[in-house]
């Protein structure tokens, strides 16, 4: 019997929890959409009270509800002295438990929570679930390769200096220290995150069937080596990605397009950038964006601008203005004017990234190699120029260049700056007619096809997700 058409019969009620950051919310919501699409499920998405108030618009879908819990900072003002998020854990554990109890006693038709899925930085949620007597899984929204490197580091090198001069995962080229997740490095300002990742890994290594499951935002073919390494260490990992908006793939009329199925924490651009893209030749535009977390230094923006202008290519550049009236706003005006004089480009504060990447005039993506953007570019078949900054980005940039061959990495100088000439060099490779550019574009087409295969009905990720739900009884 196909339970798809019997939405009143909710067999499962998933509670999906993530931090309130743009890059955490969207893949989690894409998972919500997939779970509901399989049928017989209700999903509640929850984030912090303050986080929920920051979302400009909520995508609506039958079977999806929204909720919030307190992290102790409901006005959004966080102390600088909580780097390892212990306050969040302390307060969040109580308030998330209260939320689960509240849902379970409420009279609406969605029924009690039967399964908790939590995202990165919230490993304590597994304990909350277990206290409430419900199973849980960790949704890994970073690359599986970076997760496998963390796992390898904790098992072999943590607390035994000196730091390794390279790390290897069977089936992949060796990773130099600068290619590892940056928070593992002793010099990292984000070293306080280590205990949180350690906890994630401990939970997934415990082998408890009710709490050690890891759902991966990747697909079998994309990160085969890392998936294999985690499995051989006894971890129960399930690739279910790519968790990106698939609206522009879906030619078939029975699929509702989900181009708008995302949350935005930032105001849309006034400029009609899609109309501007329409006026440009195919594969001619350089799209530049560093995601929602990265703020480039002033000098770095200057170098980036020089490289873009020197390239002579049309540019669509997303730069968020952190505060009105400051230095940054003045600099953005300067960039706008310089690109205007050259009639070379458009600067916008935010855009719908999948729409842009899916546009035929976009020829490459200059980016920070955050996992969501990397996967979105792969899905759209757009070559990448990686300017990695922190977290798993250096690892992802290596995969882009050396493993999948879908782009190049921009190299920093001694001062850690990517010079304009280097940006120009990278653009000449990925946008040029040379052999390497051709090869990159061929690889992009290949991975685009494989990504599409993975999530379509009967594909590896689709099968894995259905199998996971089926196994819940």
Q: Residue 411 sits in a domain of what CATH number?
A: 3.40.50.2000
- Which among 379, 383, 374 is positioned nearest to 358, based on CA atoms? 379
- Residue 64's Cα: distance from chain center in Å? 21
Together in a domain, 198 and 346 = no
Q: Report the half-sphere exposure of 379 (CA within 13 A, side-chain side).
A: 29
Together in a domain, 334 and 203 = no
Together in a domain, 112 and 155 = yes
What is the dihedral sign for C-alpha 448, 453, 455, 456? positive
The CA distances from residue 452 to 132, 223, 286, 291, in Å, are 37, 15, 24, 23
Together in a domain, 110 and 181 = yes
DSSP letter (8 states) at residue 458:
T
pLDDT at 3: 34
Q: Which residues contact 317 (CB under 8 A, 6 or more apart)?
A: 288, 289, 308, 335, 339, 345, 346, 347, 348
Helix (H) or strand (E) segment spanning residue 390: none
Q: Which residues contact 375 (CB under 8 A, 6 or more apart)?
A: 217, 218, 241, 242, 243, 244, 451
Q: Which residues contact 148 (CB under 8 A, 6 or more apart)?
A: 169, 226, 229, 230
The Cα–Cα gap between 406 and 447 comes to 8
Together in a domain, 213 and 306 = no
Vertex 235: Cα angle to 98 and 448 (nearest 5):
95
The answer to whether position 182 is within a domain reads yes
Which residue numbers are catalytic? Answer: 24
Q: Which residues contact 107 (CB under 8 A, 6 or more apart)?
A: none
- Beta strands 12-17 and 345-348 are unpaired
pLDDT at 350: 87
pLDDT at 249: 52
Together in a domain, 463 and 440 = no
What is the dihedral sign for C-alpha 154, 157, 163, 169? negative
With 0-12 CB in 10 A as exposed, 13-18 as middle and 19+ as buried, what is 473? exposed
Together in a domain, 280 and 211 = no
Together in a domain, 209 and 113 = yes
With 0-12 CB in 10 A as exposed, 13-18 as middle and 19+ as buried, what is 77? exposed
Contact 180, 394 (CB under 8 A): yes
Number of independent structural domains in the chain: 2
- Which mean pLDDT values do the consecutive 10-residue runs of the chain (473 residues) have? 42 95 93 93 96 87 95 81 77 97 88 96 96 97 98 91 92 96 91 91 87 96 98 96 76 46 67 91 97 83 95 93 73 86 87 93 98 97 96 97 98 95 98 97 98 96 96 85
The answer to whether position 291 is within a domain reads yes
- Residue 348: phi and psi, rounded to 5, are -130, 155
Domain containing residue 66: 3-260+454-470
The answer to whether position 52 is within a domain reads yes
Contact 283, 363 (CB under 8 A): yes
């Amino acid at each position: 019997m196909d339970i798809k058409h019997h939405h009143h019969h909710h067999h499962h009620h998933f509670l999906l929890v993530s931090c309130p950051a743009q890059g955490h919310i969207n893949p989690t919501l894409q998972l919500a959409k997939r779970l509901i699409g399989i049928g017989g499920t209700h999903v509640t998405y929850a984030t912090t009270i303050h986080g929920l108030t920051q979302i400009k618009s909520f995508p609506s879908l039958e079977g999806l509800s929204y909720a919030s819990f307190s992290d102790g900072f409901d006005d959004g003002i966080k102390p600088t002295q909580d780097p390892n998020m212990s306050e969040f854990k302390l307060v969040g554990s109580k308030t998330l438990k209260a939320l689960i109890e509240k849902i379970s006693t409420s009279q609406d038709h969605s029924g009690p929570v039967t399964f908790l899925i939590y995202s990165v930085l919230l490993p304590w949620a597994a304990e909350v679930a277990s206290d409430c007597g419900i199973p849980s899984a960790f949704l890994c929204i970073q690359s599986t390769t970076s997760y496998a490197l963390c796992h390898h580091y904790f098992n072999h090198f943590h607390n035994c200096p000196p730091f390794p001069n390279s790390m290897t995962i069977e089936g992949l080229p060796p990773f130099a220290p600068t290619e590892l997740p940056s928070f593992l490095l002793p010099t990292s300002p984000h070293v306080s995150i280590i205990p949180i990742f350690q906890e994630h890994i401990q939970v997934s290594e415990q082998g408890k069937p009710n709490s050690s499951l890891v759902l991966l935002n990747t697909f079998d073919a994309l990160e085969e080596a890392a998936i294999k390494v985690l499995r051989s260490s006894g971890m129960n990992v399930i690739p279910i990605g790519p968790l990106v908006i698939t609206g522009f793939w879906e030619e078939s009329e029975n699929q509702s397009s989900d181009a708008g199925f995302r949350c935005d924490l930032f105001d849309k651009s006034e400029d009609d950038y899609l109309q501007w893209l329409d006026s440009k030749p195919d594969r001619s535009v350089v799209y530049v964006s560093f995601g929602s977390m990265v703020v480039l230094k002033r000098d770095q923006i200057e170098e980036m601008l020089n490289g873009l202008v020197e390239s002579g290519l049309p540019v669509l550049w997303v730069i968020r203005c952190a505060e009105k009236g400051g230095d940054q706003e003045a600099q953005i005006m300067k960039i706008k004017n310089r690109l205007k004089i050259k009639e070379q480009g458009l600067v916008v504060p935010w855009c719908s990234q999948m729409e842009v990447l899916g546009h035929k005039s976009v020829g490459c993506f200059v980016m920070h190699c955050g996992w969501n953007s990397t996967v979105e570019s792969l899905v759209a078949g757009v070559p990448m120029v990686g300017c990695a900054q922190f977290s798993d980005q250096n690892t992802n940039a290596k995969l882009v260049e050396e493993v999948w061959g879908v782009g190049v990495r921009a190299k920093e100088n001694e001062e850690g700056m990517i010079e304009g000439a280097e940006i120009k060099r990278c653009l000449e490779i990925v946008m040029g007619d040379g052999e390497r550019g051709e090869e990159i574009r061929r690889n992009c087409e290949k991975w685009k096809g494989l990504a599409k295969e993975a999530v379509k009905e009967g594909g590896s990720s689709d099968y894995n997700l259905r199998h996971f739900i089926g196994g819940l009884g």
